[in-house]
Structure 1
């Protein structure tokens, strides 16, 4: 009697579906980012996240016991890491001795800042506006210190009368506005052009010098 094949006993389907835990975690985080951005924290459903990640809810909760844990990993952590990276690059400006030198140092760095802001904008708005109280904590504990630190770096090169706090807010606010325009306004031009205008504004200001009538 021929030996019975063991092929039917091998869990081929299970093996095909198997993914390492680290890979599953990455896929869950990616699915969670998309769901939190789409529906905000309150509206996001772990069931939808699990389906998008190709896992069941038991597996999802094994990696992230609560929706709050998942929000932290998918939204807060990558956002803060990106913002800290932006601050780290702006510290290169400290080696500049004149506004012109700062402009040279800042060209590539400013372009990367703008790229980063555009990339993290959905995470930023989700973190700030999903929940009012949570957003307030995010701003006060995470975002505001980075904005102030940015201003402190720029302050030594600024004109008298401009506070470090204002410089940080102005820099962050302009980059945020550019990211909004590109996400919602459909702008697709090169960011390097915008970066050059940023640096020109940083180093020379935007007010046109008017000639005195007495000079005419």
Structure 2
């Protein structure tokens, strides 16, 4: 076993855990599997993490929480302005959301679908507040553009769902997602459907 500084060892364990959890899910992964993947003994893992759950949180959940916080911050930063500024901001936001989902679809899948309780808790604790913050942003900018009547919560959830679904589709087809083209296609659906004719 190579001697590493504590921070480097922790990172090595997190990477081994991430691979193990993504492969077998939180219930199918054993500490011994992670130890074998990291080429360490199990006792070393317990020096850094109190339990398998803590390791799962650090390896899979914490990175997603940071990403959701970043996306929520982006959503709240939308400046009040003209219709053109709104369209530009929304396009950039969809690009960011598509990129985030594309790069982390396997992590999201593990958190949301490998254990029903974990998935519900993560959704309620992190995705709902994110969607709600986007809805608040949409509400605060409704007077910035001339639009058809619509329900901001439905449209926001639909937009997030389209990004998620398209990222998932490209992941399972093993195709590269064209972020720019896809964001434009979503913009067409949302804005052409909502703009006053």
Structure 2 length-normalised TM: 0.87
Equivalent residue for 2:132?
Answer: 148
The match for 2:72 among 62, 87, 93 is 87
Post-superposition offset of 1:104: 2.0
Which segments of 5 or more consecutive residues in structure 1 lack a partner in the other structure?
1-13, 210-216
Query: Where does 1:106-185 land on structure 2 (aligned, <5 Å)?
Result: 106-155=90-139, 156-157=141-142, 159=147, 161-185=149-173
Q: CA 1:96 to 1:55, structure 2 compared with 1: closer, same or farther past 3 Å?
A: farther
Superposed CA deviations along residues 116-149 of structure 1, whole A, max 9, x for unmatched, are 1111211111111221122211111221111121
For the pair 1:194 / 2:179, whether they are aligned, the reply is no
Equivalent residue for 2:39?
Answer: 54
For the pair 1:74 / 2:59, whether they are aligned, the reply is yes
Rg larger for: 1
- CA–CA separation in structure 1 for the residues paired with 2:96 and 2:125: 24
Alpha carbons 2:68, 2:126 under 8 Å: kept = no
Structure 1 length-normalised TM: 0.80
The match for 2:26 among 37, 41, 55 is 41
User: What RMSD over aligned residues (CA atoms) do the two structures have, in Å?
Assistant: 2.2
Number of matched pairs: 192
- CA–CA separation in structure 1 for the residues paired with 2:170 and 2:186: 16
Which segments of 5 or more consecutive residues in structure 2 lack a partner in the other structure?
none
DSSP 3-state at the match of 1:19? coil
Post-superposition offset of 1:71: 0.8
- CA–CA separation in structure 1 for the residues paired with 2:138 and 2:187: 12
Alpha carbons 2:97, 2:160 under 8 Å: kept = no
Alpha carbons 1:128, 1:139 under 8 Å: kept = yes
Superposed CA deviations along residues 141-186 of structure 1, whole A, max 9, x for unmatched, are 2211111211221233484542232133112101101111110012
